Structure 1
Amino acid sequence: MSDVEKARTSQTQLVHNTPNVASRATKIANPGALGLFSFASTTLILSLYNVNARSIHTPNVVVGMACFSGGLAQFLAGMWEFPRGNVFGATAFTSYGAFWMSYATILIPGSGVLSAYTSPDELSQALGIYLITWFVLTFMFLIGSLRRNMGLVSLFVSLCITFILLATGAFAGSVSVTRAGGAFGIITAWIAYYCGLSDLLVKDESWFTLPLGNIV
């Protein structure tokens, strides 16, 4: 084989035999279930507050969950996805881990975030901008999930709707729209639970597995 042919063969192998980054050999266990369960649990609690379940109007009990479960645990799941080579999972988990920690910071009285606003309307508009920014990022994750599986696509579609409704509710000062966002948040949480359970039920280690709807 000539040097030119060898070079072409090597180049072809480089293009076609590039390992799937999501399945790179590593001793790190799959952190997907941890990230999804942490996200789902925190989202479920806050969403129940948003629909005023049990007549709850003050969401501050979610602060602990937002700091440590939705925040720290999910952030760590994202960090563990990086050495596994899963850029999508790493970016998503790290981003939403940071989201929950930032949201907790808003609600912590000592942070001074809420007390800095003397006008309720200004605070609502500021929260609306905060939420619409996360809608934009979530929409980008939706685009990135389109060739993965239907579980993730459904998750990000539902989360996009949740953020846009919550942002609209904040901008318009509408309790009913915020409640609608809370309702979609509950749906989002259960989809995330399903996806997390699917990751947890590993083939040959579980009695059954859950399909995520692979996209051809």
Structure 2
Amino acid sequence: MSQNDDIEKGGIHAITPQQALGQNNGTLPASYGQAVRRSNLGNPGTLGLFSFASTTLILSLFNAQTRGIHAPNVVVGMAVFCGGLVQLLAGMWEFPRGNTFGGTAFASYGAFWMSYATILIPGSGILAAYTDASDELSSGLGIFLITWTLVTFFFLIVALRKNVGFIALFSVLTITFALLAAGELAASVNATKAGGVTGVITAFIAYYIGLSELLAAEDMAVVRLPLGIFPKRVD
């Protein structure tokens, strides 16, 4: 078995119909093997991870008020097209590969970025509706971020038997969302800045995992980056 296969199995990508369904007892109907088989599609994981990381890095630097930036609106273009559209496409490409986890994660965060961008776009009228009630806007954004804290925690639960890389990614991302939610609900600039710092860490973890998967897909890669893959559990 090649190292590439090891990384694929331990990463965000399911390989066989049994792995995709979490069933390894040979009870799948014979027709299922004809409908779902190993795909020759290229691995969309790096595309989704790099898009997520790049958009997260930009917004997190804004949240940390790097160079005195307070308004995050410059991230709108990235949030719509890179973090949003590209991740959504990566998620849709994961499903034909039999990877429910990867497809759900990429599509979900793609939707997150597009919905967040919609809030910031003036033409949406969302921010304008709260001009006379800033506390209500902060509460609304806080609830929005709490929801994504929960979603990310659910992904963390699933990632606990994948590899160390994904455990680190979803752990730090959960903390990031929680800090940003606290910053909105408690009107705490320090909490928002802390969320920006942990967001930067999240972005670089995602870059690392994405680069690891990209290198694993190359037959003549100059280096391999370990993800801390757990051995397959035998029931």
Structure 1 length normalisation: TM-score? 0.89
1:66 corresponding residue in structure 2: 79
Q: Which amino acid aligns with 1:205?
A: M
Residues 27-66 of structure 1 mapped to structure 2, 5 A cutoff: 27-66=40-79
Report the CA distance between 1:51 and its aligned residue. 0.5
Q: Tell me how large the CA RMSD over aligned residues is.
A: 1.8
How many Å separate the matches in 1 of 2:58 and 2:135?
Answer: 25
1:128 corresponding residue in structure 2: 142
Structure 2: gaps spanning 5 or more residues = 1-23
| Pair 1:82 & 2:112 matched | no
How many Å separate the matches in 2 of 1:66 and 1:13?
Answer: 43
2:10 corresponding residue in structure 1: none
Q: 1:77 to 1:122 in 2, by over 3 A?
A: same
Report the CA distance between 1:168 and its aligned residue. 0.4
| Pair 1:166 & 2:166 matched | no
4+ residue runs over 6 A deviation: none
How many Å separate the matches in 2 of 1:121 and 1:151?
Answer: 37
Q: 1:73 to 1:123 in 2, by over 3 A?
A: same
How many Å separate the matches in 1 of 2:39 and 2:25?
Answer: 25
Residues 1-216 of structure 1 mapped to structure 2, 5 A cutoff: 13-14=26-27, 24-117=37-130, 118-202=132-216, 204-216=219-231
Report the CA distance between 1:209 and its aligned residue. 1.0
- Look up the SS of the partner of 1:201 in the other structure: helix
How many Å separate the matches in 2 of 1:190 and 1:184?
Answer: 10
How many Å separate the matches in 1 of 2:70 and 2:25?
Answer: 60
Report the CA distance between 1:12 and its aligned residue. 5.5
Deviations 1:67-115 (A, max 9, x none): 0000000100000000000000000000000000000000000001111
How many Å separate the matches in 2 of 1:24 and 1:46?
Answer: 39
- Look up the SS of the partner of 1:178 in the other structure: helix
Identity of aligned residues (%): 64
**Where is the helix percentage greater, Structure 1 or Structure 2?**
1
Report the CA distance between 1:204 and its aligned residue. 2.2
1:4 corresponding residue in structure 2: none
Higher deviation after alignment, 203-212 or 162-171: 203-212
Structure 2 length normalisation: TM-score? 0.82
Structure 1: gaps spanning 5 or more residues = 1-10
Report the CA distance between 1:24 and its aligned residue. 4.7
Q: Which amino acid aligns with 1:128?
A: G
Q: Which amino acid aligns with 1:26?
A: S
Tell me how many residue pairs correspond in the alignment: 201
